[in-house]
Structure 1
Amino acid sequence: MDEVIYGYSCYLKDERELSQNTLESYIRDLEQFKEYLNSNSSFDLMSANKTIIITYLMYLQKDGKATSTISRNLASIRSFYQYLINKDFIREDPTYNLHSPKGERKVPDILTPKEVDLLLSQPDVGDFKGSRDKAMLELLYATGIRVSELIDLNINDINFEIGYIALRGDSLQERAIPVGKLAIDSLKLYINEYRSQVLRNVRETAVFLNFQGKRLTRQGFWKIIKYYTGNTNINKKITPQTLRHSFAVHLLQNGADLKSVQEMLGHSDISTTQMYSFATNDKKLREVYKKAHPRA
Structure 2
Amino acid sequence: MEGLSEYEHELFKEFSRKLKPLSRSDYLNKIILFKSTLSDKNLLNININESKQFIEYINSIYAKSTCEKIYSYLHSFYNFLVKENYIQNNPFANISKPYVSRIKNKNDVLSLDELNKLISIFPNLNKRDRAIISFLISTGCLLNELINLKWKDLTSNTQNNCSCKIGNQKKERIVELPSYSWDLIMDYKESIQITSIDDFVFKSRNSNTITDRNVRLIVKNALSMAGLSNYSAKDFRHSFATFSLKSGLKDENVKEKLGWSDKNYATRYKYVMNFVDSDDIDYIIDDDELNIYKSKNNK
Q: Closer, same or farther in 2 for the Cα pair 1:36/1:266, shift >3 Å?
A: farther
1:85 to 82, 85, 91: 82
Aligned pairs (5 A) from 1:118-267: 118-120=117-119, 122-123=121-122, 129-130=126-127, 132-158=128-154, 163-168=163-168, 173-182=169-178, 186-187=181-182, 190-191=185-186, 194-195=188-189, 197-199=191-193, 201-202=195-196, 205-210=199-204, 214-218=208-212, 220-222=214-216, 224-225=218-219, 228-229=222-223, 232=226, 237-257=230-250, 261=254, 265=258
* CA displacement, residues 214-252 of structure 1 (integer Å, 9 cap, x when unaligned): 3344455456445655665x5664532332231122123
CA drift of 1:75 comes to 0.6
Q: How far 1:9 moved relative to its partner?
A: 4.5
1:75–1:205 distance in 2 versus 1, CA, 3 Å: same
Instruction: Specify every segment of 5 or more residues in structure 2 that has no aligned partner in the other structure, as ranges.
Output: 279-299
Which amino acid is the alignment partner of residue 167 of structure 1? Answer: G
Higher alpha-carbon deviation: 107-116 or 255-264: 255-264
Deviation at 1:207, TM superposition (A): 0.6
The offset of 1:32, in angstroms, is 1.8
State the distance in 2 between where 1:263 and 1:8 align: 37
Q: Structure 1: which 5+ residue stretches go unaligned?
A: 286-296
Identity of aligned residues (%): 22
- When residues 120 and 214 of structure 1 are mapped into structure 2, their CA distance, relative to the original with a 3 A threshold, is same
Which one of the candidate residues 52, 55, 58 is aligned to 1:57? 55
Q: Residues 93 and 156 from structure 1, CA distance in 2 versus in 1: closer, same or farther, beyond 3 angstroms?
A: farther
TM-score (normalised: structure 1): 0.68
Give the Cα–Cα distance (whole angstroms) in 2 for the partners of residues 98 and 269 of structure 1. 30
**Aligned partner of residue 200 in structure 2, secondary structure:** coil
Q: Say what the alpha-carbon RMSD is for the aligned residues.
A: 4.1
The reply to whether residue 37 of structure 1 matches residue 38 of structure 2 is yes
Deviations 1:36-84 (A, max 9, x none): 2236xxx6321334443223323434x4443333322211111111222
Q: Equivalents in 1 of 2:207, 2:42: separation in Å?
A: 47
In 2, are the aligned partners of 1:84 and 1:90 still within 8 Å (CA)? yes
Aligned partner of 2:99 among 99, 102, 127: 102
